Structure 1
């Protein structure tokens, strides 16, 4: 039996290297990223340096998970998350579905009037790549601070037993990404789906005493396609095709 062709990164996950922002936050924490959630992807952190926490907010409430070198933490779609940098926090980020979180599967916790339609949201989150680095940093920091203020409001409402503000954010986030779903499905079919089907075919072949797929083994390697990009949570090194 010939297995489906798949030679991408294992399990069709995406990988990036993240240096979390050290800009002080609106409530006086040493540094941190921009609160946001993902709609269809789980995300994982492998902490490589520094100390901090990941703050999360779901319908079950608010939590803080300590992060230090060697910690592996992950969360499922719908988890609003925010990295807090207590000093030198660096992370390898592992993202489901071929890095879909960096391809639009994220909505920042912006005020509700900036979540009304995709165009309004895009204008609110855009960091033009042709601007000087200092201006990009200013926009990224202002965007983070705006989202953080809304995150703190959502956290307070959830703590006080008022579920509607968080529910309204969920509804708005789901509506914002709806126009992209066909593109996301193609990415899933070409990546995670193919990878899973390849494994199934290989298992079937091995049960039939057919190890022919082993002769097609290959090795791949790559370096970052971009370094220092202003991301949601910090400066990113992004890898192509992963």
Structure 2
């Protein structure tokens, strides 16, 4: 496991939210939910909104430059682009979303079938990826609309069913998540506790290890994420010379 001292065991990416319209006429990304991780948006420029569904119902939060919002596990979220929305995304438990801690709001029959879900979620080879990302987004929006409309009508049963199906979908892979958390955010928190104890005891020798680190951005064109085109960063600590 690579070591990263980036604060909080988090990951960071730059997101240009999709600008094309879904079948409902709304421009934006693929609605989805994280089961363990908390996600944060720091809006860099443009305007848009965050559409969410949780136990309190459906909500739309305006987004503009300087806005900071975050949403905890179980919050279904859809990034909406009104005008060139660009966001810095901070994700807790770095590496966990890539390990399967996200489920898109495909229609219930798709989420309940692991093979059907995998086919719907796959982006495949580089050629044609933009079109497959659009189809994936549109399918997730159709499921999102059904969940939203049920919540607006006061019916939580579809949301509860989606959460149960999402949990079943990722249950097998979740057995590996604990180790990732222990090796990244938990290890970093434990190191901070050890340093605090050392300082309290008058030991500051760890300051000799002070270094500046710089993230390495992904090369080439931005990748296709759930919410838009992504520039990811390698947050691995690099050896430096003093």
What TM-score bracket applies, with the shorter chain setting the length?
over 0.9
Contact 1:38 1:105 in 2 (8 A): yes
Q: Which residue of 1 aligns with 2:22?
A: 25
Which blocks of at least 5 consecutive residues in structure 1 are unaligned?
A: 1-5
Offset, 1:118: 3.3
Offset, 1:9: 1.1
**Could you tell me how far apart the structure 1 residues matched to 2:173 and 2:120 are?**
18
Q: Which residue of 2 aligns with 1:131?
A: 126
2:215 corresponds to 1:222: yes
Which blocks of at least 5 consecutive residues in structure 2 are unaligned?
A: 237-242
User: How many aligned residue pairs are there?
Assistant: 234
Deviates more, 1:74-83 or 1:179-188: 179-188
**Could you tell me how far apart the structure 1 residues matched to 2:198 and 2:174 are?**
34
Offset, 1:99: 4.0
**Could you tell me how far apart the structure 2 residues matched to 1:156 and 1:121 are?**
22
Q: In the TM superposition, what whole-angstrom CA distance separates every residue of 1:33-90 from its partner, at most 9, and x where no partner exists?
A: 1000000000000000110000000011011111111111101000000011001000
Q: In the TM superposition, what whole-angstrom CA distance separates every residue of 1:119-156 from its partner, at most 9, and x where no partner exists?
A: 3322210001x331xx1111111111111011011011
Q: Which residue of 2 aligns with 1:232?
A: 226
TM-score for the superposition, normalised by structure 1 = 0.92
2:185 corresponds to 1:178: no
Contact 1:115 1:173 in 2 (8 A): yes
2:189 to 160, 176, 196: 196
TM-score for the superposition, normalised by structure 2 = 0.92
RMSD: 1.6
